[in-house]
A and B are shown apart, each in its own frame.
Chain A
Amino acid sequence: MRILRENLTAYAFLLPAIILIFLFGIFPVAFAFFVSLHRWRRFPDEYIGLANYVRALDDLTYVLFFWLALGAFAFALLQVRKLWLSRERGKGLSYLVPGLANGGAIFLFVNWLTILLPLILDIPNRIRGQERVQGLFISELFVSLRVPEATEAGNLFLLGAVAAALISFVWWRVVKGDEPGHLLSLATIAATFAIAGALTMQLTVTEIQLAVEAARESGEALPIWSQIILISLGALALAGAYLLWQRAVRQDGNRSFAIQALIALLLIGGGYLLIAEIPRALTNADPNVWQGLNVTAMFAIGTVPFQLGIGLLAAYLLFQNVKGKSFFRIVYFLPYIMPFVATAIVFNILFSHRPTSPANHLLNLFALPAQKWLLEPTGIIKLIFGAQVPDFLVGPGLALVVIMIYTTWTYIGYDAVVFLAGLGSIPGELYEAARIDGASEWGLFRHITLPLLSPTTFFLTLIAIIGTFRAFTQIWIMRNPANQTAVDTLGVNIFETVRATDPNMGYGSAMSFVLFGVILLLTLFQNRFMGSRVNYG
């Protein structure tokens, strides 16, 4: 009884937060995917499968969705493996039964929602023009709920939910095991991902068949399957090279040489396959998407290392018992908290194209020619070395460089403050011991500070990279008709698509889903590759 009361109070405390976080934090991800599968300009229209993605990424879409399905299967298998490794194997695996029931119930819920959502979302459209009566909306809502297909799906979901709850209860009470809650959630996650993977795979395969069929009718061959196989092989070769490289570090002598030769072979082969096939798969892709991703990547490469490096230097200097440390900290932090809108317009003027702008005054001091800064979309490497630089090496446009300088400027203080806290958590005895052993300042920094600071560095790198993919305000303020192609990140492209006089929600959602996928992939990558090198002391 007391436990029940505690549970109820806790949920009463949490209810507003849960509702809002679900509605505006989690649901939108699924909703964006739903919207992206439809022709959806201002209002919902028919289901069009992956067409929005194909418009953005051409044939690469099929490859990516194929991998997405495989990834879901792999994740499900990982959970099954955890069940298998639990103390009592048979019992652990038997939890797959309630897991499947729960997964099925979740799937039925999603099914109900996908039938209901277009009906509900259409209500404002349906009641437009009618007299504004209180309760009209609610009555329309009930009408939508009572549409035959919706009621059928709803009943199916209720049935599934009850069955799943019953089966779960049986396993919880009768089968037990050491941690029924943990086992149950593992099995549910496994089943949900397996079902999601199967659905994605089905969607992908039907879409591929449709596309191939359409191409055949117009007399062309669409080599989607061979593209999937070749690109997958290329990626697998690169992954294999990485795994071998990790092994080779531990080997020595002749075997090491053989492994290195194999790595080189895999790298060349995989790289060749990817370089040859990906552009072919992307021939009809939206150039804006490609350009946007390219700009975003350059933006990340051009800001993250600099802001982290300078931030670490500032933190290290502040850590040397300087006088007025808190004053320095306060001032360093200013650019980070000030409104981006206000500081970006200052940089707009500091780096304006006029020959008399402050930035050009500075160049004059060093007897360098004045630049057009924010009006200059030409790559900086081309600007420095002249016109003979090949196209893929021109580097970020000068306008983008200004935005990079601005972004670095805003984040240095934040990085410094977090690094400073990280430095403070390193035990001082380590330094004393190393000093007694005669270590130099540089040696201390290299062998104590940097390794023990690695969790902070890891955290900041992650935040910084995600930050560059999120960046919007400064680019929105500093872009202009002359530099657009050089500075528009994918985020800005998405916003443009949705804010245009003729908005395209479906296409915008597809692009934002791609962007979200890229960020997720980077996060996973970073966890995998940097996580293994992080020293948690």
Chain B
Amino acid sequence: MNNKKTDYNSVMNRKGEIIKAALDLDYDQFELPGISFDYDSMMEKAGYSLEEVIKIQSQTNVGNTPMIEPDNINLLVKKLSKSGYGAKILIKDEAVNPSGSFKDRRASVSVYHAKKLGYEGVIAATSGNYGAAVASQANKRGLKCIIVQETYDSRGFGQPEIVEKGRACEAYGAEVHQLTVGPELFYVFLLLLEETGYFNASLYTPFGVAGIETLGYEVAMDVKNKYGKFPEAVVITHAGGGNVTGTTRGLLKADANDTKIIAASVDLTGLHMASDLDFNRKSFTTGHTGFGFPFATWPDRADVPRNAARALRYMDRYVTVTQGEVFYATEMLAQLEGIERGPAGNISLAAAVNIAQEMQEDNIIVVQETEYTGAGKHPTAQLTFAKKIGVEIYRGDPKENIPGKKIVIPEHPSQIRVKEVDLDRIRKSYIRNTLKNYNIKPQDLTEQDIDFLAEETNTNIKYIKDLLKEFEN
């Protein structure tokens, strides 16, 4: 035992050294003067190549999931589209990964890396599918696993989806620390890292994100091999940014350079993520705007010095759907395709059902994930829980949706309508956060910084210079 102080402030002040010891990766080597860092070099030097990742994942049965053609859903989409429109939807069935979601791809590389570096165990702070993924992969590699999750409100009520994820982690033999609501989960996480000397299996490391690249690569090649071309669009559920980042990087590695990247989140705007009262008023615990917006506008809020998941670099379009629309899409997948999957994995399916109607009939749009379903992770479980805590649920126009108050289940599939997120606003917010967090004035940014901002926001130097003028004075 060491004599280090374990109170909140002392531990938070040691954050840098704790994270460094728990990753064995020196992020300073990628830093550049000013606000910039060398992202490409970080991904190349600290990550793994696509070939290496394929090999690592084949050792633990991750990836090579089926690409499903949901022909009944596609018949429905054709019925809803005007003549000549209604793209073919394809679904990458990621639920068949060992622990039931695409997160196995991410966890596989993190755990492999931890093992290679000689760590005895891995720790991840996550209330999502990633916990089960890390626990599952740790078993395969013979490492111990601790998962820290935000589970309950102060009255002890657990969101059913998170309770299920806790159970799954325990089923895989992980030690699970379940906390009440609050961002201080990070403090508990740091204490555990220091106490155990385990590896930080963060969602946001270059190795974790490299693990998702195979998903994008498989999507590109599955479609190319069967349909003779790359898909016109891929819809990707967006929360912390890893799914969008890794999938797009994989698509690019397959040379699918023209595929449009559409990010999709469930609209939970207005609910405060650190609020004890709002916590259980959401029926989705991931893939929502409560992560999607803050992580797009400031990725470096993560548990590593530089987040490898930088979604704004890759998205061409960003849309939201409502909780009711996603429950409807989940029902659609079960009733038309005979495939029962978890609702959170169907966020991008709900978006694709609408977007396919805008696209020509010879186009292909890929929904790049599904997730497992079960007690807690199911529309009936979520809606029963929502009703109990006073959320109003009815059939109607999803436009009437109010996160935390009303869940509106569409009366007709044509009522599923994505809402556009103004990417210029997101970019502006990203620039504002950069200036604030570095305490730097627009006029003090170097040419290198401006180049960096253009890359970060998937824009160009002129765009950034024009935008910066708005922040001057």
Q: Do A and B come from one complex?
A: no
